[in-house]
Structure 1
Amino acid sequence: MTSAPDRTKLFHALHHHGPLALPNAWDVASALVVEAAGAKAVATTSAGVAWSLGAPDGDALDRERAIDLVARIAKAVGVPVSADIESGFGVDAEQVGDTARAVVEAGASGVNIEDGLQGGLRDVAEQQERLAAAREAAPDLYINARTDVFLRGVGEPEERLRLAVDRARAYLEAGASGIFVPGVTDLATVAELAKAIDAPLNVLAGPGAPAVHELGTAGAARISVGTALASAAYAVARTAAEELLTKGTYDSTGDGLEYGELNALFGN
């Protein structure tokens, strides 16, 4: 298996060789499935991880449990792993640094750190301190700094591009490696963001969004799908459960992975 430092170098490089498509995983099994499907890296979804561990999304999950899962995934797969650590699992910059250090020790190559708070966004200067602490604690880690300007509808619509770019530039000054702007998929806005931000741009895609190659042509370096895979998997589970309990039939499970195929993924 490739060493953790080599996987981290690879993960950085993947952001500069065409759009990096990341189907987000939420546990070891989903990470192995994603890897087997051909993903060049595995990124976790914070919501999916929290749900799988019995907590709601939104900084409610215990840091140690989150890091433990990251370590399990990093040990199980051979590709780089990026961990969505929400806002850093810390009340202050020092604790965010502790989280970043723990993520590296767990074997991950990257993290997402978001600036969203209940009711709005974290102050720019405070977010810079948190990102700088993560960078100091983990010099080689790929830090994907997320700004929720568009996702949370901050400011007037005509102001959001400027607000997102201003935050992106501030976060890069603090040590971020790349910028994640969820809530935007229209190609014109993606192109403007990519032109204005001097770092790899990550966008969040899903049903109805332009295809990966279209987003890449517009300037996105990284395209992830957030909770989409986890939500789809749980939707299948609900449909199958309801069918079993109401009709007494089992057809909804007919397209599931074969036992042997899934079990074989755990061979290493």
Structure 2
Amino acid sequence: MNNSPFNTFTKLHQTDSPLILPNAWDAASALICQNTGAQAVGTSSAAVAWSLGYADGGALPVEEHLNAIARIARVTSLPLSVDIEDGYSQNPEQVAELACKMVALGVAGINIEDGNDTPESLGEKISAIRQALNGRPLFINARTDVYLNALGSGDKAINMCLERLEFYKNAGANSGFIPGLTAMEEARSLATVIDLPINIMLLPDMAPLSEFSAAGIKRFSTGPALFQSVYGHLSESLKQLAAVKSDANLFSKALDYGTLNSAFIKEA
């Protein structure tokens, strides 16, 4: 078990260097993350949903999500952490069942969020997951949306995050995820006080990662940004083609066919 994906993933939160976790959405993006030096691979629920033709925010059918994760798990040898939003249910037992299915696919960790729900609701889900796993390892990254939902600012937001993450830790969480947190001093305060590795999401115009790392942040997630970047490039390329301006954008950053294809032959 010392070299299990769970243990490897856990140790990545305990080093002096922060974990930079790219969020993939399908087998190809996950394999590219692996082949460009990622230490682990996460998923973005938004990106997975969009790639399968659904809106973000609970619209993705659970079975389609599981199938997508199975395809990702097949091609990557890295620890895999899956964003399951709020667990796609208000029933803790159903959420726990989903978590167990993820573990059966080889998943090392999950993100699960409070969103618009009460802290008690997420705490019950985390407790139910731990009970259902019955000792099987799973790294639970408990996400609080205090900042994303603008529930407070300054000291109020800090205190709300501290209270929620302490509650989630006692329920069985391994780390705390605070997307929307961009203020350096607030990040420092939270990382200093809470006895959990803190994860934040990369957003435009943030301070350098090195400064957040020095402030105590242990994990950085790309969220849907990689998907948005790839599809932004696709959109721009198609616009240029449609306007008969140039096809240069189409090939400027294209990966070599042979390199891509051989990667999948190895993983088949």
| Fold conserved between structures, TM > 0.5 | yes
User: 1:94 touches 1:130 (CA, 8 Å); kept in 2?
Assistant: yes
Which residue number in structure 2 is paired with residue 264 of structure 1? 262
Question: Aligned equivalents of 2:159 and 2:258: distance in 1?
Answer: 51
Matched with 2:8 is 10
Which residue is equivalent to 2:129?
Answer: 134
Counterpart AA for 2:7: K
Equivalent position of 2:57 in the other structure: 58
Instruction: Report if the CA contact (8 A) 2:147-2:153 is conserved.
Output: no
SS at match of 1:256: coil
Question: Residue in 1 aligned with 2:68?
Answer: 69
Do structure 1's residue 155 and structure 2's residue 152 form an aligned pair?
yes
Shift of 1:248: 5.8
Greater mean deviation of Cα atoms: 95-104 or 123-132: 123-132
1:75·1:107 contact (CA, 8 Å) conserved in 2? Answer: no
1:246 has 2:243 as partner: yes
Using the TM superposition, give the Cα deviation of residue 156 of structure 1 relative to its aligned residue in structure 2, in angstroms: 4.9
Contact 2:178 2:199 in 1 (8 A): yes
Equivalent position of 1:190 in the other structure: 187
Cα deviation, 1:230-258, whole Å, max 9, x if unaligned, reads 00001011111111112263111122111
2:88 aligns with 89
Corresponding residue SS for 1:83: strand
Deviates more, 1:212-221 or 1:159-168: 212-221
Deviation (angstroms), 1:205: 1.3
**CA positional deviation for 1:48:** 0.3
Number of residues paired by the alignment?
262
TM-score in terms of structure 2 length: 0.93
**Aligned equivalents of 1:106 and 1:245: distance in 2?**
42
Q: CA deviation at 1:207?
A: 3.1
Mapped partners of 1:114, 1:126: distance in 2? 10
> What CA deviation, in whole Å up to 9, does each residue of 1:39-75 have, x standing for no partner?
0000000000000111000011011111111121112
TM-score (structure 1 length as normaliser) = 0.93
Deviation of 1:265 after TM superposition, in Å, equals: 1.9
Report the CA distance between 1:264 and its aligned residue.
Answer: 2.1
Counterpart among 205, 208, 211 of residue 211 in structure 1: 208
The aligned residue for residue 171 of structure 2 is: 174
User: Residue 116 of structure 1: SS of its match in structure 2?
Assistant: coil
Distance 1:4 1:104 in 2: 17
Say whether the 8 Å CA contact 1:135–1:176 is kept in structure 2.
no
CA distance in 1, matches of 2:153, 2:240: 45
1:4 shift after superposition: 11
Equivalent-residue separation in structure 2 for 1:55 and 1:48 (angstroms): 9
Query: Partner of 1:108: helix, strand, or coil?
Result: coil
Offset of residue 135 of structure 1:
1.8
Measure the CA separation in 2 of the matches of 1:36 and 1:201. 26
Matched, 1:228 2:189: no
Deviation at 1:260, TM superposition (A): 1.4
**Cα distance in 2, alignment partners of residues 214 and 89 from structure 1:** 35
| 1: CA distance, partners of 2:240 / 2:169 | 50
CA distance in 1, matches of 2:254, 2:204: 21
Which residues of structure 1 form unaligned runs of 5+?
Answer: none
Q: Is the 8 A contact 1:82 1:108 kept in 2?
A: yes
Q: CA 1:4/1:100 → structure 2, altered by over 3 Å: closer, same or farther?
A: farther
Partners of 1:52 and 1:100 lie apart in 2 by 22
Give the superposition deviation at 1:9.
1.1
Moved >4 Å (runs of 4+): none
Are 1:74 and 1:80, in contact at CA under 8 Å, matched by a contact in 2? no
8 Å contact 1:202–1:222 — kept in the other structure? Answer: yes
